[in-house]
Amino acid sequence: MKAREEGYPARSVYKLQEIDEKLKVIKKGDKVLDLGCAPGSWLIYASKKVGEQGRVIGFDIEDVKKFSGNNVIFVKRDIMYLESFDLRNLQNLCQVVISDLAPKTTGTKSLDVGKSLELSEKAFEIAKEVLVSGGNFVCKVFEGEGSDDFFKKVAKSFKKAKRFRPKAVMKESKEFYVVGKGFLRSEMGARQ
């Protein structure tokens, strides 16, 4: 209810807002890639945060009905099928990649965690393609088998990495966020 009153389609905005306020991941003028951007709360937040000098590009398989600002581009695509070729115009150009991707849950924990990790791995793969050296990464993950390994893998590619669970996450939820700050672009480029 509060989110809608403030012009956001979903309460997920408060998760990103808390992450950003505590860990300072998005700055004015940044180019931000938002993976899994529907219904659009993170897109709107990032758009306001980067201002007119910045740009936010959102990808999702669902339509985003509401977003504001001339600094937003929405692309209706399944990120699981994005390849290096599709990202060529963004390679080494984004200061931030944010991902609130989540699978359609089945209620079977191991299956849901596995699908969440698959999305997280793809988001990380995309982040390595598009992030500038020193860039930041925020990615939702479901707690479970493989989530610790995913965190360790992300941590190796950033100066600082943190597991973060915003207060806005519902108590019964198994989600947390992996936040990487200061992307370490390898000498060999993004493809490792």
For residue 135 the two structure tokens come to: 């860039």
Query: For residues 180 and 163, what is the distance between their CA atoms, to the nearest angstrom?
Result: 9
Place of tokens 């984004």: 94
Of the listed 27, 140, 156, 171, which one is catalytic? 140
Whether 140 is catalytic: yes
Question: Which of 75, 35, 32 is closest to 55 using CA atoms?
Answer: 32
20's CB contacts (< 8 A; 6+ apart) are: 26, 45, 49
Measured at the alpha carbon of residue 162, what is the angle toward residues 165 and 103, in degrees to the nearest 5? 55
- Beta-sheet pairing, 158-164 with 175-183: antiparallel
Name the amino acid, one letter, at 81. Y
What count of other Cβ atoms lies within 10 Å of the Cβ of residue 119? 22
Which residues belong to the active site?
140
